């Protein structure tokens, strides 16, 4: 399942974070980072998924 989350986090970073943690603070941080730039959102999403 982590491979699917990682693939989704590369395509849509907030979706990968949502599947990992739900509507928590990490999800909203990822939304902001993705709006500010795609790559910061991807990096944060991969970090959140790898951390758990």
- pLDDT tens track, the chain, 52 positions: 778 888 989 999 999 999 999 999 999 999 999 999 999 999 999 999 998 7
List the domain range (segments joined by +) for residue 18. 13-51
Please tell me the predicted confidence (pLDDT) of residue 52: 75
pTM: 0.89
26 in any annotated domain: yes
Three-state helix/strand/coil letters over 1-52: CHHHHHHHHHHCHHHHHHHHHCCCHHHHHHHHHHHHCHHHHHHHHHHHHHHC
25 in any annotated domain: yes
Nearest-angstrom CA–CA distance, 1 and 32? 25
Number of domains in the chain: 1
């Amino acid at each position: 399942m982590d491979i699917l989350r990682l693939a989704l986090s590369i395509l849509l970073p907030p979706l990968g974070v949502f599947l990992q943690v739900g509507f928590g603070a990490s999800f909203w941080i990822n939304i902001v980072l993705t709006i500010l730039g795609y790559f910061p959102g991807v990096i944060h999403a991969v970090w959140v998924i790898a951390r758990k």
